[in-house]
């Protein structure tokens, strides 16, 4: 099975400091500008303490009919943040996502620094490539072993 480091997104990790006065509207603008579905909330040592996803904004801002420029980060972030190590297997990542019912995992290196965010889409893209490759290989074999 592949390691998380082989599949994790190559996009830059978008993060904000935990003591900031940033609002939900600012987070939305960051997500759009950077073409990402989540923003990490970090402490002064760059360790993740929370995550804000598109789902968090929908559940905690849109559904409550609150103005996005009035909601601060600490009211919408999910915390504690569930993480995965870059050397862990994709199977471990998928099990964590299933257990915690989440779609994104911040990826840490051994020094606990954030290097990426692994998404459910990253995993499904990888698995679909494996399926397509297998299909092509077996389809080719079918032409070789054609019954007479």
CA distance linking residue 24 with residue 59, whole number of Å: 12
CA distance 128 to 43: 36
Span 78-97, pLDDT tens digits: 999 999 999 999 999 999 99
Weakest-pLDDT range from 63-67, 79-83, 109-113, 133-137: 133-137
Q: What percent of the chain shows pLDDT beyond 70? A: 90
Instruction: Note whether 85 and 4 are within 8 A (CB).
Output: yes
pTM: 0.81
DSSP 8-class letter at 62: I
Per-residue pLDDT reduced to its tens digit, 126-144: 888 777 777 676 666 666 6
Query: Does the 4-144 domain belong in CATH 3.40.50.1100?
Result: no
Q: 46: pLDDT confidence band, cut at 50, 70 and 90?
A: confident
Q: Using pLDDT thresholds of 50, 70 and 90, give the confidence band for residue 99.
A: very high
CA 146 to chain centre: 44
3-state helix, strand, coil in the chain (%, to 5): 45, 20, 35
- Residue 35 confidence (pLDDT): 92
């Amino acid at each position: 099975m592949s390691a998380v480091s082989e599949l994790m997104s190559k996009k830059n990790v978008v993060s904000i400091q935990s003591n900031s006065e940033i609002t939900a509207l600012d987070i939305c603008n960051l997500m759009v500008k950077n073409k990402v579905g989540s923003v990490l909330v970090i402490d002064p040592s760059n360790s993740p303490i929370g995550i804000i996803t598109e789902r968090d904004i929908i559940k905690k801002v849109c559904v409550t009919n609150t103005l996005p420029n009035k909601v601060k980060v600490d009211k919408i972030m999910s915390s504690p943040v569930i993480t995965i190590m870059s050397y862990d297997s994709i199977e471990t990542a998928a099990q964590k996502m299933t257990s915690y019912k989440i779609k994104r995992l911040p990826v840490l290196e051994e020094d606990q620094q954030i290097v990426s965010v692994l998404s459910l889409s990253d995993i499904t893209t990888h698995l679909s490539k494996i399926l397509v490759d297998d299909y092509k290989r077996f389809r080719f074999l079918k032409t070789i072993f054609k019954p007479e």
